[in-house]
Amino acid sequence: MRFYQFVLLVFLGIMSCKKDDLQNVDVSNVDVQFSVERFDVDFYTSKKENLLELKQKYPYFFPQQITDSISLAKINSKDEQELFAETQKIYKNITPLKEQLTSLFKHVKYYNPNFSSPKVITMLTNIDYDSRVLYADSLLIVSLDVYLGKNHKFYADYPKYIKENNTKNHIVVDAANAIIAKQIVPSKNRSFISKMIEEGKKMYLLDMYLPSISDKEKIGFEANKYDWVLNNEEQIWAYFIEKELLFSTDTNLNQRFIDVAPFSKFYMEHDNLSPGRVGVYIGWQIVRSYMNYNNDVSLQELLNKNATDLFKESKYKPRK
């Protein structure tokens, strides 16, 4: 009996090493060069006499309809200056952020050699959480005022599931997601299982690009709701099977289980205990299972893999 236990432990150790090797790759020799420009600092410390210089440095932030009087009124606004001051308390020194982004860009380039690190620009957007991070090939724009901490007074009226990710540790996750969104070609398959796996591929890229970030941080659930999904994965999967949802093309399933929301909609008494986006979590576990059983598959091959075939070959079994 002891011999078989020993063999099992060795096997599990090998499988664990394979997974760890895949995620904890050596990126020390990957060269990335990028700058970080503080538009937030440059803007809110500007005076009328150097406004032209500011506009020349950041022309994309000054469209024709933004007159000098509008810019100066914004700079001199008491509320705007308070927001800037609060942001500076946390982000006066952004060296830790640059280090996180350096690691992210190194990992992205490791898997995508043609990737060019974007110029990073920090700014304030009056807490526009729908525009936390914007990525457009050569630019990565970060709205620092969205990341002051989930308990900050400025977020008092925000829903918990939104402000859960208003933290400095989540900037790099949102930056990675913005880059990943440009790398994933949307599937034409409208089935629920296809949509879950498409989201699961995005989450798996987060695994590869952010190996030192926790799963909870990557998925962005509140702690109690993250525990709920871990403890109820088998029940969630059983529900999807019982209700014959996997191959359904009902678009309402997006709102119920894929989109950002305070909770998922099983239409049961205790729905409020669940996090939104449980379909994303399940898709993530399916893709992880597939990659665990197919260690020779590259990331590019994964992205090109048909969702239906991936599901069949994943051997996915939910956590009990």
| Model confidence at 9: pLDDT above 90 | no
The residue type found at 267 is Y
Rounded distance between C-alpha atoms, residue 188 and residue 11, angstroms: 39
Number of neighbouring beta carbons within 10 Å of residue 6: 10
Instruction: Output the six-digit token pair for 192.
Output: 């629920």
| Model confidence at 16: pLDDT above 70 | no
Predicted pLDDT at 15: 38
* pLDDT tens digits, 55-77: 999 999 999 999 999 999 999 99
Predicted pLDDT at 187: 83
Contact 314, 256 (CB under 8 A): no
Predicted pLDDT at 188: 86
Rounded distance between C-alpha atoms, residue 263 and residue 151, angstroms: 20
Percent of the chain with pLDDT over 70: 93
Q: Which long-range contacts (CB under 8 A, 24 or more apart) does 79-87 make?
A: 80/44, 80/124, 80/126, 81/44, 83/124, 83/126, 83/127, 83/145, 83/154, 84/40, 84/44, 84/124, 86/145, 86/148, 86/152, 86/154, 87/40, 87/124, 87/144, 87/145, 87/148
The residue type found at 144 is L
Predicted pLDDT at 153: 96
pTM of the model as a whole: 0.90
Confidence tier at 148 by pLDDT (50, 70, 90)? very high
* pLDDT tens digits, 114-128: 999 999 999 999 999
The closest alpha carbon to 299, from 312, 308, 290, 309, belongs to: 290
Predicted pLDDT at 24: 77
* pLDDT tens digits, 70-102: 999 999 999 999 999 999 999 999 999 999 999
Predicted pLDDT at 123: 97
Contact 180, 205 (CB under 8 A): yes
What average pLDDT does this structure show over 225-231? Answer: 98
Number of neighbouring beta carbons within 10 Å of residue 308: 14
Predicted pLDDT at 319: 86
Partnered with residue 143 across adjacent β-strands are: 123
Q: Which helix (H) or strand (E) is 135 found in, with range?
A: strand 133-135
* pLDDT tens digits, 153-192: 999 999 999 999 999 999 999 999 999 999 998 888 899 9
- Cβ-in-10-Å burial (0-12, 13-18, 19+) of 205 comes to buried
Contact 288, 262 (CB under 8 A): no
* pLDDT tens digits, 246-259: 999 999 999 999 99
Predicted pLDDT at 23: 60
Predicted pLDDT at 320: 81
Average pLDDT, the chain: 92
* pLDDT tens digits, 125-142: 999 988 999 999 799 999
